[in-house]
Amino acid sequence: MKEARGKVPKIALIGNPNSGKSTVFNQLTGLRQKTGNFPGVTVEVKEGRLRFPSGAEALLIDLPGTYSLHPTSSDEKIVTTVLTNPKDDFYPDALVYVADVTHLEKHLLLFTQLLDLGLPMLMALNMADTAAEAGIKVNTGKLAERFGVPVVSISGRTGENIQKLLLDLEKLLNGDGHHRRSTSAFYPLREVEKQVADAAQLNVATGSPYHALLLAHHHAWLPFLQKQERETLAAIVQTKDFQSLRVQVDETLDRFDRFTPIVRQTVSQPSVEPTTFTDRIDTILTHRWFGPLIFFGVMLLVFMAIFFGYDITGGWVESGIGVMIDAIGVGLRENWFTDLLTKGVLPGLQGILVFVPQIALLFLLITILEEVGYMARAVFIFDKTMRRFGMNGRSIVALIGGGACAVPAIMGTRTISNWKERLITVMVTPFISCSARIPVYLVLIPVALPHSSWWTKSLVFGGMYFFGLLAALGAAYTFKKLLRTSDPSYLALELPVYRMPHWKNVWLTVWEKVKAFISGAGKIILYISVVLWILGNTGPSGALENAEAQVKATATAEMSQDSLDDLVAAKRLEASFAGMVGKSIEPLIAPLGYDWKIGIALLSSFAAREVFNGTMYTIYSLESVGRVEEEEAANQRPFERYSRLRRQMRDDTFRDGRPVYTLATGISLLVFYALAMQCMSTLAVVRRETGSWKWPLFQFFFMSGLAYLCAWVAFTVLSR
């Protein structure tokens, strides 16, 4: 079975959820890992490089956690798909089976199924540290003998025996492991299974009889089967009257009957099971009243941490890049390229980087909650609530993540097995107020409520988050009524024991999310910044030059160079293509109380919402002031920032002399920014996750339409 292709061997890590697979993966590969997608499907796979003590290398693939080769979610289907298709890109040369030794029996079902598939395999008994504490003793030699595979006792957490694992694994790859041949299957097929497997083996080329049986069970969805193979298998199943579901259950029970005695002979467990630490904590954390209360408390803390994190780090990043932009601006000659760099690319980059600290912080907190074992409890508590809205308890993790950035949050919905629940979660997550909305809210709230107290403003700010959540739930409820699916939906979730977080896991996960944001959202933000720069700096022939000449001709002697430059910038923007578009959509947005200047800002918000602020500064001839105020912001209380811009906005009037920014316009804008789909990066991710442009387009029109409608209602009601 050795590969003659001369490539590095492929090894797959496999195991049940919570077996510690990811921890072992991190131990083995460290930072030499990347996340990719299985071709054609949207389940992610982690790959990493592994180096044996001999210096040889191998590719390590982390397969999704699953309980059985008879899968129920799209995550789990991947495992069966890969392992039953020798032509698959990820088909491994050997398997490392990770089992939690403290519950060995629960982890042997999948293991014995894999045994019968006949791939070379090694069993890693993980959590040796916990086992030792609990007084669990395992006779690894005897286990190895009974199953016919090498067995190593390891700890992903302490790194114990990882080197030995590598040694044994290399031996296994070289064919020295005592790997049992598939002649004697662990589970002898029953009569009906045998008949089906034999027929399948005759008609569709397969390896072991169990392999053939799996193809027969799952022919309806296994993606690699040819049409003809599928039909043949369907016919076999039909003629043999093969009751797939029932047979699967019988197989599972039979396997348990066979390996339970083996566990009894090889594992000695202290018999009494005391009320553990986990049970005591859960009496509070899943308590009828305290449970939800604590959850909301934790969320409040998380979001406060993010807001204050933004407050502090956002300022640093802004001024850091501001300094860089200034330095480059000074160093380079003034031409269009410098301008593109300092006004298009670098601010775009700034727009990406300002969010990195918050996204890192939110995912740090979520990952810790997840590592500790708390998230599973939140899923349990809110499953019912989420289901009322057509989602799944697991959706709660995505909705929380949406508070930082919808892009990584949406990528995290892959654990939801039901297509409809997952789709709804993906569709409504962008309603949750993400970090890009914070700076916009900070400008708009004081513009809308100039004379209100700090408390009122803070309340409105918090209210915006609440409003986003309401919109998400309302939309979800609507989708629930509209969409149909026959996919089964499950909760059936293991509640892991509480553990201290393993920091290496935490850092690697956070790093992964930040990378997902930078590569998923970052690139698009950068492109759009460039496109917007072009729109804002080009116009019908001669228009920009005319505008500039006009300003200079009418300029008075008292004007400082800065204000002259600012005025030129404002007039150029007005004359540019962006300005033209802004003006041409004015009739469309007038019912919401907006003028063409806001039109331009709305347009430019498609890169990232907070571009709103920068555009407003330029339009109001405050470009140079803007840079100063952005830097000052770090030292000011939230609602006191951007004061010159706000004053300018408040003073602005329509052509007929009515003020533009009234309470009604301010609120209408806030509503619009809360609801509108103004994030190309999110749309791109939604396309990737749903596999077509249909859903992102729908999402765009749905969210923006709703934003328009609600902003119009707000404006109309408030301006009476």
Q: Which residues of the shown chain bind ligand GTP in the complex (CB under 6 A)?
A: 15, 17-23, 65, 126-127, 129-130, 155-157, 371, 499, 502, 505
Cα three-residue angle 442-447-450, rounded to 5 degrees: 110
282 touches which of another protein, ligand GTP, none (CB within 5 to 8 A by kind)?
Answer: another protein
CB closer to another protein out of 34 and 287 = 287
What is the nearest approach in angstroms of ligand GTP to the Cβ of residue 681?
26
> What distance in Å separates the CA atoms of residue 87 and residue 109, rounded to the nearest whole number?
25
CB-CB contact of 222 with 80 (8 Å): yes
Point out which residues bind another protein (CB under 8 A): 67-68, 70, 72, 103, 105-106, 109, 245-246, 248-249, 252-253, 256, 273, 278-279, 282-283, 286-289, 291-292, 376, 379-385, 387, 393, 488, 490-497
CB closer to ligand GTP out of 65 and 291 = 65
What is the nearest approach in angstroms of another protein to the Cβ of residue 259?
12
User: β-strand 121-126 against 151-153: which pairing, if any?
Assistant: parallel
What is the nearest approach in angstroms of ligand GTP to the Cβ of residue 20?
3
CB-CB contact of 161 with 155 (8 Å): yes
709 touches which of another protein, ligand GTP, none (CB within 5 to 8 A by kind)?
Answer: none
488 touches which of another protein, ligand GTP, none (CB within 5 to 8 A by kind)?
Answer: another protein
- Measuring CA to CA, which residue among 137, 55, 134, 52 is closest to residue 96? 52
CB closer to another protein out of 486 and 541 = 486
Tallying the residues shown for the chain, one arrives at 720
Centre a 10 Å sphere on the Cβ of residue 360 and count the other Cβ atoms it contains.
18
What is the nearest approach in angstroms of another protein to the Cβ of residue 639?
36
- Measuring CA to CA, which residue among 201, 674, 630, 124 is closest to residue 432? 674
72 touches which of another protein, ligand GTP, none (CB within 5 to 8 A by kind)?
Answer: another protein
CB closer to another protein out of 252 and 546 = 252
- The one-letter code for the residue type at 60 is L
> What distance in Å separates the CA atoms of residue 228 and residue 595, rounded to the nearest whole number?
62
> What distance in Å separates the CA atoms of residue 541 and residue 18, rounded to the nearest whole number?
64
CB closer to another protein out of 103 and 687 = 103
494 touches which of another protein, ligand GTP, none (CB within 5 to 8 A by kind)?
Answer: another protein
- The one-letter code for the residue type at 47 is E
What is the nearest approach in angstroms of another protein to the Cβ of residue 694?
29
> What distance in Å separates the CA atoms of residue 137 and residue 266, rounded to the nearest whole number?
8
User: β-strand 44-51 against 33-37: which pairing, if any?
Assistant: antiparallel
529 touches which of ligand GTP, another protein, none (CB within 5 to 8 A by kind)?
Answer: none
CB closer to ligand GTP out of 371 and 689 = 371
249 touches which of another protein, ligand GTP, none (CB within 5 to 8 A by kind)?
Answer: another protein
Stated as kind and residue range, the H or E segment containing 601 is: helix 596-604
Q: What region does 241 belong to: left with phi over 0, alpha with psi -120 to 50, or beta? A: left
- Measuring CA to CA, which residue among 375, 493, 487, 340 is closest to residue 421? 487
- Measuring CA to CA, which residue among 33, 57, 59, 58 is closest to residue 46? 33
CB closer to ligand GTP out of 12 and 532 = 12
495 touches which of another protein, ligand GTP, none (CB within 5 to 8 A by kind)?
Answer: another protein
162 token code pair: 């990882």
CB closer to ligand GTP out of 401 and 614 = 401
543 token code pair: 């228009």
What is the nearest approach in angstroms of ligand GTP to the Cβ of residue 65?
3
CB closer to another protein out of 174 and 243 = 243
CB closer to another protein out of 32 and 280 = 280
What is the nearest approach in angstroms of ligand GTP to the Cβ of residue 43?
12
CB closer to ligand GTP out of 21 and 77 = 21
* Phi, psi for residue 50 in degrees, rounded to 5: -125, 135
716 token code pair: 């109309």
What is the nearest approach in angstroms of ligand GTP to the Cβ of residue 602?
41
What is the nearest approach in angstroms of ligand GTP to the Cβ of residue 136?
12
> What distance in Å separates the CA atoms of residue 173 and residue 150, rounded to the nearest whole number?
12
Widest pairwise Cα distance in the chain: 100
What is the nearest approach in angstroms of another protein to the Cβ of residue 162?
26
What is the nearest approach in angstroms of another protein to the Cβ of residue 396?
13
452 touches which of ligand GTP, another protein, none (CB within 5 to 8 A by kind)?
Answer: none
> What distance in Å separates the CA atoms of residue 58 and residue 174, rounded to the nearest whole number?
12
